[in-house]
């Protein structure tokens, strides 16, 4: 069968089976290895082709920045501390020196922002442009994807900015609303997302957290993954208030923008109920319960949104 007929989930399952992955590295967003006399290392590699990731409103600097923050987001949401970064670049020969410099500057500045040393990498020539970023971090303990029964899902209520932008862009309407301040902020966050970095105090609460994922593939995708072994009941949308008002003004669905956006890099944490008040006090909101069963439900109906998935038809 062709890869596009199998879909990302099946392909990942095939790869993990061939590799022989076991807990905590199977079905996880980072890879862990225990190094004697050093501690638990967390490794993450993330990348993609520029033909799929660079939009018309992004510069090459933006791409370097965004893909570095994307890799860091998975490290941070596992409450690990990034320490070093390497990149691999494959570029066509018709790129300019300026474009190469901008890509590398974007990676370098993002690495500095997240506190990781950019220590080198690899350069290749090819028929497509591909950037991969690999990060090494130090973790306290492994954190997986599957919540425990009774957990409450919490996040930061800033969803929707990139979902709004992608919805307008794919519909050919972005240029018509470019002067809207909410749209302008969404474009900036899509081009250069801000990393979510857990505080030392929050890291000390790691035993409150049973599962975690970042929202880089969309909140719908996160919930789909978390709901493979449990039932998740969503009771509110963690959407930014201004984004919700803007969606309604332009006739867009706040629900679709919230669940299907992607490229947001916000933390989604499954926390023990006795820890909920602490997370609410520092700016998180609760939006879903974890129950016995399987799947994801919103307002008593099964949620079909799954965010960004490779080797399948685009959501928008």
DSSP letter string, 192-236 = SPPPP---HHHHTTGGGEEEEEE-TT-HHHHHHHHTTSSEEEE-S
Q: Are 310 and 5 in contact (CB under 8 A)?
A: no
Query: Is the four-CA dihedral 306, 246, 166, 88 of positive or negative sign?
Result: negative
Confidence of residue 313 (pLDDT cuts 50, 70, 90): low
* Residue 111, in any domain of the structure: yes
Q: Are residues 178 and 107 in the same domain?
A: no
* Residue 95, in any domain of the structure: yes
Q: Are residues 30 and 92 in the same domain?
A: yes
Residue 4, C-beta contacts closer than 8 angstroms, at least 6 positions apart: 311, 312
* Residue 311, in any domain of the structure: no
Q: Residue 76: what pLDDT? A: 98
Q: Are residues 251 and 207 in the same domain?
A: yes
Q: Are residues 252 and 135 in the same domain?
A: no
Mean pLDDT for the stretch of residues 300-307: 81
Strands 295-298 and 231-234: parallel
Tens digit of pLDDT for each residue in 89-124? 999 999 999 999 999 999 999 999 999 999 999 999
Number of domains in the chain: 2
Inform me whether the pLDDT recorded for 39 exceeds 70: yes
* Residue 308, in any domain of the structure: no
Mean pLDDT for the stretch of residues 154-176: 94
The domain boundary, picked from 117, 139, 161, lies at: 139
Inform me whether the pLDDT recorded for 197 exceeds 70: yes
* Residue 144, in any domain of the structure: no
* Residue 313, in any domain of the structure: no
* Residue 147, in any domain of the structure: no
Q: Which residue has the higher pLDDT, 4 or 211?
A: 211
Q: Are residues 247 and 284 in the same domain?
A: yes
Q: How many CA atoms lie within 13 A of 79 on its CB side?
A: 21
* Residue 232, in any domain of the structure: yes
Number of H helices, E strands in the chain: 11, 12
Confidence of residue 12 (pLDDT cuts 50, 70, 90): confident
Helix crossing, 97-114 with 60-77: angle to 10°?
30
The domain boundary, picked from 139, 166, 193, lies at: 139
Rounded-to-integer distance, Cα 164 and Cα 213, Å? 21
Confidence of residue 315 (pLDDT cuts 50, 70, 90): low
Q: Are residues 160 and 208 in the same domain?
A: yes
Q: Residue 4: what pLDDT? A: 85
Q: Are residues 191 and 271 in the same domain?
A: yes
pTM given for the model: 0.93
The domain boundary, picked from 84, 116, 139, lies at: 139
Task: List C-alpha distances in Å: 14 to 120, 185, 224, 245, 255.
Answer: 31, 40, 19, 43, 32
Cα-Cα-Cα-Cα dihedral of 273, 274, 277, 278, to 10°? -110
Q: How many CA atoms lie within 13 A of 196 on its CB side?
A: 27
| Exposure string over 265-282, b if 16+ CB within 10 A, otherwise e | bbbbbbbbeebbeebeee
Domain CATH for 167: 3.90.650.10
Provide the domain limits for residue 61: 3-139
> What is the number of other CB atoms lying within 10 angstroms of the CB of residue 160?
31
Q: Are residues 287 and 178 in the same domain?
A: yes
Rounded-to-integer distance, Cα 129 and Cα 47, Å? 11
Domain CATH for 37: 3.30.1330.10
Q: Are 32 and 139 in contact (CB under 8 A)?
A: yes
């Amino acid at each position: 069968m062709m890869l596009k007929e199998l879909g990302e989930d099946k392909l990942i399952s095939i790869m993990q089976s061939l590799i022989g992955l076991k807990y905590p590295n199977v079905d996880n967003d980072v890879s862990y290895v225990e190094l004697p006399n050093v501690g638990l290392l967390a490794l993450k590699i993330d990348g993609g082709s520029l033909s799929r990731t660079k939009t018309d409103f992004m510069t090459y600097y933006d791409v370097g920045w965004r893909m570095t923050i994307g890799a860091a987001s998975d490290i941070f949401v596992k409450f690990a501390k990034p320490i070093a970064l390497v990149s691999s670049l494959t570029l066509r020969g018709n790129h300019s020196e300026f474009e190469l410099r901008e890509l590398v500057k974007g990676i370098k500045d993002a690495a500095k922002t997240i506190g990781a040393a950019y220590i080198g990498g690899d350069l290749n020539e090819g028929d497509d442009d591909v950037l991969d970023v690999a990060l090494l971090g130090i973790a306290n303990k492994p954190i997986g994807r599957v919540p425990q029964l009774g957990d409450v899902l919490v996040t930061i209520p800033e969803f929707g900015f990139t979902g709004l932008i992608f919805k307008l862009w794919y519909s050919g309407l972005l240029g018509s609303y470019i002067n809207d301040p909410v749209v302008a902020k969404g474009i900036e966050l899509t081009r250069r997302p801000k990393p979510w970095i857990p505080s030392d105090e929050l890291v000390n609460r790691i035993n409150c957290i049973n599962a975690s994922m970042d929202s880089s593939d969309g909140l719908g995708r996160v919930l789909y993954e978390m709901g493979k072994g449990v039932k998740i009941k969503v009771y509110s949308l963690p959407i930014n208030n201004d984004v919700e008002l803007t969606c309604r003004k332009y006739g867009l669905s706040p629900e679709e923008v919230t669940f299907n956006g992607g490229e947001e890099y916000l933390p989604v944490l499954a926390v023990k109920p006795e820890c909920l008040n602490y997370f609410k006090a520092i700016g998180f909101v609760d939006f879903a319960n974890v129950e016995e069963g399987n799947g994801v439900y919103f307002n008593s109906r099964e949620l079909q949104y799954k965010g960004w998935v490779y080797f399948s038809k685009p959501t928008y």
